[in-house]
Structure 1
Amino acid sequence: MLFFVVFLLFSILVLRLGELQIVFGEDFQRELARTEDITISNPVPRGKMYDRYGKVIVDNTPLNAITYTKYQGVDQKKMLDTAAKLAKIINKDTSKVRERDKKDFWMMKHPKEAKAKITEKEWNQYKGKKLDDKQIYKLQLKRITDQDLDSLSADDLKTLAIFREFNSGYALTPQIVKNKDVTPEEYAAVSEDLENLPGIDTTTDWERNYVFGDTLKTILGDVSSSESGLPKDESEKYLAQGYSRNDRVGTSYLEKKYEDVLHGQKAKVKNVTNKSGKIISTEVVSEGDRGNDLVLTVDMDLQTQVEKIIEDEMWAAKRSGNTGLMDRAFVVLMDPHTGEILTMAGKKIARNPETGKLEMQDYALGTFTTSYNVGSAVKGATILTGYKTGAIKPGDKQLDEPLVIAHTPIKKSWKTFGWINDQRALQVSSNVYMWKTVIAMGGGHYAPNKALQLDPSTFDTLRKSFNQFGLGVRTGIDLPNETPGVVGPERKPGLLLDLAIGQYDMYTPLQLAQYVSTIANGGYRVQPHMVKEIREPEQDSNELGPVIEEIQPKVLNHLDMKDEWIKRVQEGFRMVFQVGDGTATGYFRSATYNPAGKTGTAQAFYYGTDRSRWGTPVMNLSLVSFAPYDNPEVAMAVVVPWAYQGNTGPAVNDLIGRRVLDAYFDLKKNRQVATDPAQTNNQTTQQTQEQQNNQTTQRTDESQVNETNQQTGETQTNQ
């Protein structure tokens, strides 16, 4: 009985299997053939950028978007039918439709009329293989008239604009059809009619939002659009990394430098389609992740204040009669111990191409991509090189006197100082002291009315020493396109003297910041960097996520010099700002934050945007500083190229520098008050008012005389 039951069950099973394979087998085979699994990748928002205090700098603005995915086996006619249906639901800008697009579209809509454009003789030549398909098509295009194209209606053009987007994508890759100004009504209507729109989908897209407008925009960089996709010259590299051709990527500066951090992991969706391309079912394979976030070293509150200061002082200086060529200014603030860039500001006055009016534009990238003669700001490096080579010893005195060299104009400081030592030379910015130092360095001997003979290899000695401070070499900042500056090509003795006072080789504002940081921190050249941390994204908020990587300070080299030498130059810099007739005392002596630094003025030549005035003699202004002197926490470089023509002009470098350091320390005090309720605002307000009063006095009192004298002397030509 048991055997019979088992036999009966197996018999039923065999009969059922036979029915499935023989009777319904072909039906199931057709069902299997009619479906296809297609996995597509959808882009995700890029990572955000924050400032050092957690303020959002670069964000993503969500956009309603309509996409099209070209599935396998879909022909042009079906795509055109879908485009026509979609055109009835949404508006589409037709301004990018070209004449060639219209001709192709007209031929698709009017195949008989297009065929009639070819003569019987030409068709016979085609049959005889004397003309090919491409030649026939070219003849048809050529013979389409304006009247033919005028027959296309507004709806036709809208269909064409949509169809053009369909064809600009790649197979199995979602292509944005519309992601700007998609109305809620359009989004809802398309979503409700997806069954009749093969390949069409609705989704959420994004666009980059730079929260602070143009502030620091040239450093933050740009991202390609969904239309442009991957840059042509780098497409193979990105495709090998799993990108799609229409993916958006960073195309410049931070957006490009940190592309691998910011781009995120795409969401993957598996669509089951039939042979007509209609989606039968959809399955989410992976949700995808937004790109990781960057926390920058920049303080955006300080950055915006510094940019405002630059603008104010530049416009004020432009009201002077001899500042017509001044069109830019730069400020870099840096932590001298860690290399963190606190502010990287650059402004350029340029004419708006649309309005024709002059306006202030962001030019932060000029802080490390452009270089200038910076003048006496480099004299700290000259003195230290003199110590190292044995040309001078700490405390050595030299006679500051006019130098009368054969066949050369008289060379002198802005004022004759008599016997002075090294620190006094820095305090009053003596050119003669630097020249006599480098003459000794080059094995020369100065004698009135005699020719000067110097060892040409001294150029290499001085430049290699300057390189150790960061002058004349790339600083190593984590941004592309940094210039190492410009090295003068000739090696005449007079040019070596120019090199010693910053009037031959050219340096970037960022190099000046690294140079003064090296002196401020005791001789360590620290690599500057813009990124402080890389963090995981918090998907639903602007809060900072967990730290993935923290960028550590990197020392590039240490000066091969005695600590007491560096301290001696530091003291000379303090004297420049705080003691007696130091060249910057009129602007900084009243500062409560104990600053030190060096001013610079260089006679240079204009080579800006107005090519008709190239070669015009101009004065470049610079300023390097650190504070507090006894415990430096900030280093600053200010460069104002082509500040004025003639021997005197507005001291824009000092005016900017004082206001910038005031802003830094005021902001620091305000933050301390905000985090410590025990402190009161009275002291801060009183100190701020005192600084403003002192600054007002500076602009109108003895500092103007000091700066005028300094500029008159420092800019003596040394050719």
Structure 2
Amino acid sequence: MKYIRTPKPKRVKSHIPFRLNLLFFFVFLLLAALVGQLAYLQILNGSRFAAEVDRTDQTVVTGSVPRGMIYDSQGRALVTNKANNAITYTKSLDATAESMYHTANRLARYITMSTDGLQKRDYADYYLADTQAAKAVTKALPAAQQKTTSDSKLYKYQVAYVEKHLPEYTDKQKQAIAIYKIMNGATALTTVYIKNADVSETESATVGENLTAMSGVNLGTDWERSYPNGDSMTSVLGTVSSTKSGLPSDGLKAYLANGYARNDRVGISYLEKAYENVLKGAKSRTQVELGTNNQIEKQVQTFKGQQGGNLNLTIDSAYQTKVEAILKSTFSSALSSGAAAHSDGAYAVAMNPKTGAILALAGVAHNAKTGKINDDALGVLNRSFAMGSAVKPAMVLGALQDGVITVNDNTQSDDPIYLPSTPVKKSVYPVGTFGSLNATTALQVSSNIYMMRLAMKEGHAQYVAHTAMTMDNDIFTKMRRYFSEFGLGQTTGVDLPGEVKGQSGATMTNGSLAVGSALDLSYGNYDTYTLMQMAQYVSTVANNGYRMKPYIVKSISQTLSDGSNGPTLTTTSPTVQAKIPNTQAQIDLVKQGMWQVVHGTNGWTTATNLNTLNPGVAAKTGTAQTFTRADPTNPSSELLETTTLSFVGFAPAKDPQIAIAVVVPNLTTDSSEFNLTIGKQMISDYYALHNIKGNSGYSAHQSSING
């Protein structure tokens, strides 16, 4: 029997495509990877990542401190700090334009703000800080501008649109804009002053009651510079920038690199600027911890700050006031008489010849066109003048060094000098008054001829009257080298900015040596010097040859946290810059000549009205023929011939404690004695303030400084 196998039924073919299976496989792999990653995060590293989420950032916030103060030599305050109530704002990291907008609007309800200086951009920034207003502005922009992908470009378009379509604002809204401008200009985690002057008690109280509704706003204290002595010496003390002006544009990068904020106040002139590093103090430091939401979680003050160091000056404000008074009253008299109509002003300085300490410096600047007079004490070191015969003691000492005269052989002819095509070169007294003069008498009567003949000897002049004279080509170099030993024509190094060297005249004329100018240089009628140089120079003579560096800051001290005086940090030591190579006998010879300038009996003695001062003084007057424009602002205006009066002296002559220098430039008369009036009163006031007793048996006509 034949069996037939029943065939196997066909398997039903799957309806799921192969590609779908492959997709399921990849999904499975991805799910497996995700499960693995979750296991890695949750099981293996869960605790570490949780800590990272809870992590806080730390940053340091600095706060301003009061500047150091400035005192005179007797401890009197010249510059102090006046405390003011203030409204402050500290910008948080998550502060938005809109949040500041609402805060500014609310704060404007409680305080009154100045709206001076608001610009169109300030109005636009404020307007766009309102989110709804910004969206409306965007819709009003051209389609192409709306589609920009750059936020900064879009904002630029928005600002331009708003500036062209500014709404009308009320006064109170304008004040809110002024507040918003300050807030918006602050950097994160910095504190700025919204209002730091004239904050009323009502404003402080109202703001204080609403602080919780104004994020970042707080009550604080600010300070401003105060001047107990008024305007006295302000041109020396200098000024400080305001929080509004902030750091000066010149040197901005350097300030920022040294840790300053843009709205910090800094010294911008004179002592305030020169001693900025001392006066600024050390800012407070607060360590701030920020959470992941940029909210401040903890604040710890690590350093409460240190008020700036104090400057203790060499100047006695009581004496300074008297010097300013005599200077101003004398110049007023000169104006009233008509002699000072074209004058630049008047200047005076007093110095301790043994140490270089500045005892007083004062100046008045006169605008010959407008007639306005301003305090200009710094003109003592940043303006230079032809000082005339006041430099003659230096000329004589240089000639003694050169060997053209000696202590025992110094008599010269007093005959005038005649050069071709040049007015006769003579002294102020008539030709023939003296046949010859020695060094001391030449100083006493202020002989120009004597000084010119010294220059001729130093330059080995070949001279015949009315013919061309020749001299060594280095005559200018030689004389200026001698003058420079006393500081004339050199910066003195005084610790104030802006000092100038003065000007040196040309040495050649039409290709030839200017021999006539060399003669003028010998008696102070050519080069120009500052009054500070003159004070240093006469001090060098007074102290027997030591050129002392002038200084105005005696010491730097600290104020303690309770406001009391702290320790002295540094003290200025007197500095000898050089010793002139003259013998004591040579210096004594010149001192004797300066004594005779005051105490001589000859009718041409130049400063006899000082001979009533007891103890006696030694001095030298100066008269220089100068020129100035009738209109100082017009270089082509008429050139006027004027006279500059100067004076140098030291007192008491036997043991000098004070050396002074005075200049009154560009007077229209040479017969006045304004320089002597100022000089005499300066010494008299010094004697009175320091209780210097007169010498018994003193005679106005003592013949010798040693008598």
Please tell me the residue identity of whatever aligns with 1:634: I
- Residue in 2 aligned with 1:456? 473
State the Cα distance separating 1:336 from its structure 2 match: 0.3
Structure 1, unaligned runs of 5 or more? 1-20, 673-682, 695-719
SS at match of 2:449: helix
Q: Which of the residues 92, 95, 98 maps onto 1:74? A: 95
- Residue in 1 aligned with 2:633? 611
Q: Which of the residues 421, 427, 438 maps onto 1:421? A: 438
- Residue in 1 aligned with 2:137? 114
1:4-24 Cα offsets, whole Å, 9 max, x none, are xxxxxxxxxxxxxxxxx99x9
SS at match of 1:659: helix
1:468-483 matches, cutoff 5 A: 468-483=485-500
- Matches of 1:446 and 1:408, distance apart in 2: 14
Q: Which of the residues 506, 516, 523 maps onto 1:501? A: 523
Q: Which moved more, 1:359-368 or 1:595-604?
A: 359-368
State the Cα distance separating 1:587 from its structure 2 match: 1.6
Is 1:293 the counterpart of 2:310 in the alignment?
yes
- Matches of 1:38 and 1:185, distance apart in 2: 35
Please tell me the residue identity of whatever aligns with 2:665: P
1:419-457 Cα offsets, whole Å, 9 max, x none, are 110110000000000111100110113322222111120
In 2 relative to 1, CA 173–108 (structure 1 residues): closer, same or farther, beyond 3 Å? closer
State the Cα distance separating 1:140 from its structure 2 match: 1.2
1:257-336 matches, cutoff 5 A: 257-272=274-289, 281-336=298-353
Q: Which moved more, 1:96-105 or 1:494-503?
A: 96-105
- Residue in 2 aligned with 1:382? 395
1:138-157 matches, cutoff 5 A: 139-141=160-162, 143-144=164-165, 148-150=166-168, 152-157=169-174
- Matches of 2:185 and 2:370, distance apart in 1: 38
State the Cα distance separating 1:211 from its structure 2 match: 2.1
2:351–2:358 CA contact under 8 A, matched in 1: yes
Please tell me the residue identity of whatever aligns with 2:305: G
Q: Which moved more, 1:492-501 or 1:226-235?
A: 226-235
State the Cα distance separating 1:650 from its structure 2 match: 2.3
In 2 relative to 1, CA 311–128 (structure 1 residues): closer, same or farther, beyond 3 Å? closer
Q: Which moved more, 1:273-282 or 1:65-74?
A: 273-282
1:51-200 matches, cutoff 5 A: 51-109=72-130, 110-118=133-141, 122-124=142-144, 126-127=146-147, 133=154, 136-137=157-158, 139-141=160-162, 143-144=164-165, 148-150=166-168, 152-200=169-217
- Residue in 2 aligned with 1:42? 63
Please tell me the residue identity of whatever aligns with 2:646: S
- Residue in 1 aligned with 2:241? 224
Q: Which of the residues 660, 664, 671 maps onto 1:636? A: 660
2:94–2:295 CA contact under 8 A, matched in 1: no
- Residue in 2 aligned with 1:708? none
1:103–1:149 CA contact under 8 A, matched in 2: no
- Residue in 2 aligned with 1:408? 422
2:106–2:214 CA contact under 8 A, matched in 1: yes
2:469–2:515 CA contact under 8 A, matched in 1: yes
- Matches of 1:83 and 1:631, distance apart in 2: 68
- Matches of 1:253 and 1:452, distance apart in 2: 48
- Residue in 2 aligned with 1:363? 376
- Matches of 1:185 and 1:31, distance apart in 2: 45
- Matches of 1:320 and 1:189, distance apart in 2: 60
- Matches of 2:339 and 2:401, distance apart in 1: 41
State the Cα distance separating 1:614 from its structure 2 match: 6.8
2:54–2:291 CA contact under 8 A, matched in 1: no
State the Cα distance separating 1:275 from its structure 2 match: 6.7
1:80–1:163 CA contact under 8 A, matched in 2: yes
2:138–2:146 CA contact under 8 A, matched in 1: no
1:358-417 Cα offsets, whole Å, 9 max, x none, are 554210111001101000000001111111112222242112122222222111111232
- Matches of 1:153 and 1:114, distance apart in 2: 21
2:121–2:163 CA contact under 8 A, matched in 1: no
Of structures 1 and 2, the larger Rg is shown by 2
In 2 relative to 1, CA 508–130 (structure 1 residues): closer, same or farther, beyond 3 Å? closer
State the Cα distance separating 1:609 from its structure 2 match: 7.6
In 2 relative to 1, CA 551–191 (structure 1 residues): closer, same or farther, beyond 3 Å? same
State the Cα distance separating 1:585 from its structure 2 match: 3.6
- Residue in 2 aligned with 1:653? 675
- Matches of 1:300 and 1:609, distance apart in 2: 36
2:597–2:608 CA contact under 8 A, matched in 1: no
State the Cα distance separating 1:223 from its structure 2 match: 1.2
- Matches of 2:644 and 2:501, distance apart in 1: 19
Please tell me the residue identity of whatever aligns with 1:549: T
SS at match of 1:330: strand
RMSD between superposed Cα atoms in Å:
2.9
SS at match of 1:545: strand
- Residue in 2 aligned with 1:564? 585
1:195–1:278 CA contact under 8 A, matched in 2: no
Please tell me the residue identity of whatever aligns with 2:656: P
- Matches of 2:458 and 2:659, distance apart in 1: 29
Q: Which of the residues 396, 405, 414 maps onto 1:392? A: 405
Please tell me the residue identity of whatever aligns with 1:114: V
2:124–2:163 CA contact under 8 A, matched in 1: no
- Residue in 1 aligned with 2:506? 489
1:431–1:501 CA contact under 8 A, matched in 2: yes
State the Cα distance separating 1:216 from its structure 2 match: 1.2
SS at match of 1:232: coil
- Matches of 1:529 and 1:495, distance apart in 2: 34
1:578–1:584 CA contact under 8 A, matched in 2: no
1:63-108 Cα offsets, whole Å, 9 max, x none, are 1111112221211111111111211121111122122222332344
SS at match of 1:100: helix
State the Cα distance separating 1:619 from its structure 2 match: 0.7
2:138–2:158 CA contact under 8 A, matched in 1: no
Identity, % of aligned positions: 35
1:148-180 Cα offsets, whole Å, 9 max, x none, are 432x22222111100001122222211111100
- Matches of 1:506 and 1:282, distance apart in 2: 61
Q: Which of the residues 197, 203, 207 maps onto 2:220? A: 203
In 2 relative to 1, CA 29–185 (structure 1 residues): closer, same or farther, beyond 3 Å? farther
1:391–1:438 CA contact under 8 A, matched in 2: no
- Residue in 2 aligned with 1:675? none
- Matches of 1:608 and 1:474, distance apart in 2: 31
State the Cα distance separating 1:503 from its structure 2 match: 0.8
Q: Which moved more, 1:270-279 or 1:467-476?
A: 270-279
Q: Which of the residues 654, 660, 663 maps onto 2:685? A: 663
In 2 relative to 1, CA 179–169 (structure 1 residues): closer, same or farther, beyond 3 Å? same
- Matches of 1:493 and 1:370, distance apart in 2: 27
1:476-625 matches, cutoff 5 A: 476-491=493-508, 492-541=514-563, 544-581=565-602, 583-606=605-628, 610-612=632-634, 613=637, 615-625=639-649
Structure 2, unaligned runs of 5 or more? 1-42, 509-513, 701-707
- Matches of 1:190 and 1:224, distance apart in 2: 27
Aligned residues, how many?
A: 641
